[in-house]
Structure 1
Amino acid sequence: MLKKEFIEKMKTKLEKEKQGLIKELNSFAEKKKNLKNDWTARFPNFQGSNLEEEADEVEEYENLISIEGTLEKRLAQIVLVIEKINKQEYGICKLCNKEISEERLEAIPETAVCQNCKH
């Protein structure tokens, strides 16, 4: 069984990462009011009046949408793992129901499978 101190350490690490992801998302996106953990990238406005600057805005917006999606997925993973910790279900392999090693969880705190089942 995983030690309580280890689980708390992982929870602290995950909470810190969660806050970092939220901060990063807030830097370029607006949080949707009705949906939990969902953002919409803000369209950049370079104050340009020519077509080249407008094209740059569209390209930047496309990049922000991609980054937003990646960060939202990562945030959803982290939130799910924190919920598992709170339900005392953290560190159990979803495939074989055996305990995931501390070493594996230390390397990949959000992993849902043990070393044997990862293949």
Structure 2
Amino acid sequence: MNKKLLEELKKNLEKEKSLIEKDLKGFAKKDEKLKGDWDTRFPKWDGEAGSSSLETMADEVEEYESLLPIEQTLELKLRNINLALEKMKKGKYGICEKCRKEIETERLKTIPEARYCLKCKPR
């Protein structure tokens, strides 16, 4: 892979990483004990009767539940981006983890964090 393309892909990965972290910070906080893990913030109520209606509390719990799969999807994408950036540092970027052949350039341009070539990608 040529150096210019590698730099372009690295720039795209770093930009995407920044956007994902910004999105996660909007509704979750980093888990300081578990690297790469984020925790969706659960709604907090002050415990006084009447201060939060049951309807409001139910809405907040529903929103929390809807954010959990989004958090998981973003965490996985972020892990794959970090892995791709680490592979770049080690000179192992763009190699399929299954067959050890080069991942197609067009695939990397579309999905720069791809870990597998088209032939080996999980279905």
**TM-score, normalising length: structure 1:** 0.87
Deviates more, 1:11-20 or 1:99-108: 99-108
Given candidates 113, 117, 120, the residue that maps to 1:114 is: 117
Query: Are the aligned partners of 1:46 and 1:57 in contact in 2 as well (CA < 8 Å)?
Result: no
SS of residue matched to 1:33: coil
Counting matched residue pairs gives: 118
Show structure 1 runs of 4+ deviating over 6 A: none
Which residue number corresponds to residue 5 of structure 1? 4
Deviations 1:38-80 (A, max 9, x none): 1111123599622111111110111122211111111111111
Q: Percent identity?
A: 51
Given candidates 88, 99, 103, the residue that maps to 2:102 is: 99
1:51 aligns with 2:54: yes
Name stretches of at least 5 consecutive residues in structure 1 with no aligned partner.
none
Whole-Å separation in 1 of the counterparts to 2:66 and 2:77:
17
Whole-Å separation in 2 of the counterparts to 1:65 and 1:115:
29
**Please, what is the CA RMSD of the aligned residues?**
1.9
Whole-Å separation in 1 of the counterparts to 2:107 and 2:54:
51
Displacement of 1:93 after TM fit? 1.7
Which residue number corresponds to residue 23 of structure 2? 24
**TM-score, normalising length: structure 2:** 0.85
Whole-Å separation in 1 of the counterparts to 2:118 and 2:29:
38
Given candidates 70, 74, 89, the residue that maps to 1:71 is: 74
CA pair 46-24 structure 1, distance change in 2 beyond 3 A: farther
Query: Are the aligned partners of 1:18 and 1:75 in contact in 2 as well (CA < 8 Å)?
Result: yes
Displacement of 1:86 after TM fit? 0.9
Amino acid of the residue matched to residue 105 of structure 1?
A: L
Name stretches of at least 5 consecutive residues in structure 2 with no aligned partner.
none
Whole-Å separation in 2 of the counterparts to 1:49 and 1:103:
52
Amino acid of the residue matched to residue 37 of structure 1?
A: G
